Amino acid sequence: MDIILHKHRLKHISELRIDSSIFTKRYPSACSMNNCTGACCKWGVFADVTERDNILNHTKMIQKYLEPMQEKNPDKWFESDVCEDIDFPSGMAIGTQANEHGCVFLDSNGLCALQKAALAEGLHPYALKPFYCIAFPLVISQHSLMIDDLEIENRPNCCSLSDNGTKNILDLCATELDFMLGGEGFEEFNKIFDQQNR
């Protein structure tokens, strides 16, 4: 039976399904998203084309916070191909470029230049950062909320799965869920979580 979230903030998705495995997966007690090293950013990320436009509209600001080894030319920040994807608000997604250091915006300390720039300029930390960067390790695929299992292997510090783990998804990703779903959606998720774990 599908589990549906109705009160979430994602206007482009009328019925957001929840992959039921999200309620049963467990994580080691030492896991914390605060321990993130940016390893998941190695291959870049898909962004909505409107997120790309927002980033490019802040090019000069972002360039101030890039390290010497990071690409300064905004023409080389994104891949050339745009693809259709129903999980993005505009229905169109584009990938960030990646190089030997990882995503073009990833610095040598595993930090995101987009978030660094926003914070330094007095903006909200997520003002420039793509939705799926903020949400990770949570993803939405075909309008279904789930854990990105393939990308979280061998990440014991932040978000690896463990059969013997003591933490659940709310212990690990409450901030990410609240961001993705909004206040009412997060409250609805919590109620469903409690029902599923009785």
Sign of CA dihedral 171, 173, 177, 178: positive
70-83 pLDDT, tens digit per residue, is: 999 999 999 999 99
Does the pLDDT at position 62 exceed 80? yes
| pLDDT grade for 34, boundaries at 50, 70 and 90 | low
Buried-exposed string 45-61: b where 16+ CB fall within 10 A, e elsewhere: bbbbbebbebbeebeeb
How many Å apart are CA 138 and CA 132, to the nearest integer? 8
User: What average pLDDT does this structure show over 85-113?
Assistant: 93
Task: Please state the pTM of the whole predicted model.
Answer: 0.89
Residue 154 pLDDT > 60, yes or no?
no
Q: What is the mean pLDDT of the chain?
A: 88
pLDDT band at 25 (very low <50, low <70, confident <90, very high): confident
